Each structure stands twice: as C-alpha cells, then as structure tokens.
Amino acid sequence: MNDTGAMVMVNALERRVHLAAVDAPPVILDADIAEELHELEAVSRDLETHTLSINTRRAYEKAWRSFGGFCVDLGLEALPAHPQVVRWYVAWMSTQVDDWGEPRFALATIRQHLAGIAERHLRDGYLDPTGHRAVSDLVRGLAKLRAARPVRKRPLVLDKVVRIVDSMTHDVYPAGVSATRDATALWLGFAGALRRSEAAGLRLNSLELHPGDGIHVHVGRSKADQDNSQPDVVVLPFGGTPRTCPPCAVHRWVALLRESATVDPRTRRQSLMSQLYGYQLDTHVCGADGGGQLIDGTDLASSAYLLRATYRNRKDARIHEAGVSGDALHTMLRRRMTEAGMNPSAYGFHSLRAGHVTQARRNGASTEEIMRAGRWQKAETVNVYDREFNPAARNSVMRLGL
C-alpha cells in the first residue's frame, strides 16, 4: 500500500467513535440475587440460540470468518468495524473471480455477508456499520452494475414427473427400495409444493391419513415461516390412477420402512422383496378406490424421519434412521432425470414447486387456490413461480381473431 492509501486508511479509522450501544451491566453485590440473575442469563442465552435458523446461523458464521480474515490480512479491526472497512470488504468481494473469470461472490452472497457482519455487531452491543449510507450506496451501485435477469429453475409439470417416476426400477430388489423413496419425494415436491428443506425435515408423525382428502402433511416451521405461526397443512390428494397418486407413493414407502425394522437380515430381505413385488404402480394401495391400505395411523405414530438415507448393493438394501438432506434430494432429482433421458441442467428440486404452480394454472386454478396450496402470502410470489415457458400459453395474442 502506498503512502497516500495508508494516509486515507488512517484518517478513516481516526474518525471512528466507540460504537457500544450500552454500558457494561451493573455489578450485583447480593450473592442470592447474583445467583438468580446468573440462572436467568443462562436461560436468555439458550433462547438466543433459537433466534436464527441453523442454516442462517451457519451462513452468518461463515460470513464473519471471511470478514475477520480480510481484516486480519490488512491489519484492520473487525469488531467494531468502521463503515469504511466494510466498504473496502464489499469492494474486495466485488473483484474476486473464480477459475472461469466469473464473480466469486454473487450479489446475494455479498448481502448475506453484510447481514452476518451486522448480526455480529448488534449481538455484541455495537451499532451496525453495514447500515451506513456509504455502505448501502456501494451495494446499490454494484447491483446496478451486475443487473441481469435472474436465472430460475424450469418447472417440472405433471407429464415430466410421471416420466421420471416411470423410468425408475420399482419391481426389482434392491433397486426398488430407493425408487420407492424417490417417488415419494417427487410427489411431495410436486403435489405438496414443498421446498427440499421442508421435504427432508418431515417426520412420520408429520403425516395424517385422511379418508376424504388423501394425506394431510403438517410442514411445521419452515424457511418462510420461522415462527411456525402460519397455516402449515399441505394436502396430498388421491390420484385418478395409482401411477399419479401421491398417497399411494407414501403408503408404499412407509410400508417398506415398517418392514425394514425387522431385525433378522434374511427375514427383512424377504419382507422387503414381498412388499415390492406385491404392490406395483398399477394398483391403488391407499384406499382411494375403496380397497385396502398398506398402512394405518399406527405406522405414522413416530418422530422418525420420513425420507431416510438408504444403502444398497447388488444383493441387499438397508434403510437408515438418518434422514436425507435437502441437497441430497436435489442431487437425486437430477440423477433420476438423467436416467429418464432428460437434460437436468436447468432443473432442481425447486422445479417441482414451480411445476405445481405452472400445472395448476394451466388447469385453471386461481391464484388464491395456489397460494393456499403452496402457503404463499403474496400473489406476486405466485406469479414468479408460474414459469410457463410457452409464450403463447394464456396470452391474449391468441384471442385476437387473426
């Protein structure tokens, strides 16, 4: 750094004032009161850990480590940080590129890093340096410089979902075990319009068999409802055919979970094979046609994960207690699309949620109905998820009488 640059940095740092929002807490001399306050502090610390979701907390911690490393390398103070230091950090992130010359930090990532810096300062009793006008103007300028149409995942509508499910090997052991699970995950994403984190987080007792509707899924706390205060019931309706029936998919998978609990390996293997061979995609197994059901309420009276990790080789399959991750569901979808002869490059698990909206609108569903199914609070969000890639569809130009 030259002398001019060093002088600018020194002048900027000299203008810094102490950013503490409050003084130190009072010293308590009474031992009994001090002990009680110590217990209350322990409770408050525990409550504080629930303020942010686990994923948000991890992202903020990663952002703070990055900012801290930047400050250490340049001999700057990270806490409390002067707004000018934050500006330099934003400028640094904006200049970083990957091996292909593309920006290493997307604009959304830069904003996430600023949120992590702000959270750390406020948590430690300092004013937020990222709220300074000099910082916000810099981010606004970067946003205009990088202005581009967002790239969103293409929708997977009904015929494509059916194509993926049909391409799986359902009637062969042990491949049919993971196929049964993956089909259930696909219908949760499409019919239930669930995000991948929501699908991965479901427990058996999140599901409730309903004689009229099919299956009610209680999503609980989610990405868009951190306080778990919004309506969270998703309906998986009976399908017109067993092949397009989400409840049938759930029944088949939960029945396999039940059989997998058998301790004896030989008996377990025979039970799983019998389950796979006995109930294929051409038979309703959820009671939709007045027939029998593979599972009942007792099979759902458990807090175990619904979608679980599986292990299989050429001869055997095991279903673990651990649940799958959202990333695993994303990878699974792309792999299954490849197996179905489809190009997965423009798709992800979120394509199922977008496909729900697109398919429902094609079939005449109102925005209000879609908002209720996907638990959206704003109609504008539904419009974003409606990713109709046929420009002529629902377009008044087709009604001009030309």
CA-based angle 203:208:210, to the nearest 5? 160
- Dihedral sign for Cα 373, 379, 384, 386, please: positive
Q: Tell me the pLDDT tens digit for each residue of 30-66.
A: 777 878 877 887 787 777 666 777 778 888 999 999 9
Residue 258 has pLDDT above 80, yes or no: yes
Amino acid type, 103: P
On whether both 116 and 167 belong to a single domain, the answer is no
94, 176, 333 from 141: Cα distances, Å = 11, 53, 37
**What is the per-residue pLDDT for 12?**
42
**What is the per-residue pLDDT for 292?**
84
pTM of the model: 0.69
In the numeric block, which tokens belong to residue 185? 């995950």
Residue 21 has pLDDT above 60, yes or no: no
Task: Calculate mean pLDDT across residues 261-285.
Answer: 83
Q: Tell me the pLDDT tens digit for each residue of 144-183.
A: 888 766 667 889 999 999 999 999 988 888 888 999 999 9
On whether both 63 and 169 belong to a single domain, the answer is no
Phi, psi of 310 (to 5 degrees): -125, 150
**What is the per-residue pLDDT for 234?**
92
Q: Tell me the pLDDT tens digit for each residue of 57-114.
A: 888 999 999 999 999 999 999 999 999 999 999 999 999 988 787 888 988 899 999 9
On whether both 258 and 338 belong to a single domain, the answer is yes
On whether both 129 and 165 belong to a single domain, the answer is no
pLDDT band at 17 (very low <50, low <70, confident <90, very high): very low
**What is the per-residue pLDDT for 85?**
94
**What is the per-residue pLDDT for 180?**
94
Task: Render 151-190 in DSSP notation, one character per residue.
Answer: --PPP--HHHHHHHHHHS--SSTTHHHHHHHHHHHHHHHH
Does 86 reside within a domain? Answer: yes
Does 4 reside within a domain? Answer: no
* Total of domains in the chain: 2
Does 398 reside within a domain? Answer: no
The answer to whether 186 touches 309, Cβ cutoff 8 Å, is no
On whether both 130 and 168 belong to a single domain, the answer is no
**Whole-number Å distance between alpha carbons of 287 and 368:** 29
Domain boundary among 113, 145, 177: 145
Does 153 reside within a domain? Answer: no
Q: Buried (b) or exposed (e) across 241-259, using 16+ Cβ within 10 A?
A: ebbbbbbbbbbbbbbbbbb
pLDDT band at 262 (very low <50, low <70, confident <90, very high): confident
On whether both 253 and 104 belong to a single domain, the answer is no
- Structural domain that includes position 366: 158-385
On whether both 216 and 335 belong to a single domain, the answer is yes
Using left for φ > 0, alpha for ψ between -120 and 50, and beta otherwise, residue 349 falls in alpha
The answer to whether 282 touches 242, Cβ cutoff 8 Å, is yes
On whether both 172 and 75 belong to a single domain, the answer is no
**What is the per-residue pLDDT for 256?**
92
Does 348 reside within a domain? Answer: yes
CA-based angle 16:20:21, to the nearest 5? 125
Does 397 reside within a domain? Answer: no
Does 245 reside within a domain? Answer: yes
- Average pLDDT value over all residues in the chain: 84
Domain boundary among 145, 170, 193: 145
**What is the per-residue pLDDT for 34?**
76
**What is the per-residue pLDDT for 19?**
43
Q: Tell me the pLDDT tens digit for each residue of 193-251.
A: 999 999 999 999 999 999 889 999 998 765 555 555 556 789 999 999 999 999 999 99
**What is the per-residue pLDDT for 259?**
87
Residue 303 has pLDDT above 50, yes or no: yes
Does 124 reside within a domain? Answer: yes
pLDDT band at 288 (very low <50, low <70, confident <90, very high): confident
In the numeric block, which tokens belong to residue 374? 């996907």
Residue 307 has pLDDT above 90, yes or no: yes
Domain boundary among 145, 167, 187: 145
pLDDT band at 381 (very low <50, low <70, confident <90, very high): confident
On whether both 279 and 380 belong to a single domain, the answer is yes
On whether both 290 and 371 belong to a single domain, the answer is yes
On whether both 121 and 185 belong to a single domain, the answer is no
Q: Domain with 257 in it: what CATH number? A: 1.10.443.10
Which position has the higher pLDDT, 27 or 330? Answer: 330
Length of the chain: 402
On whether both 286 and 231 belong to a single domain, the answer is yes
Which position has the higher pLDDT, 381 or 344? Answer: 344
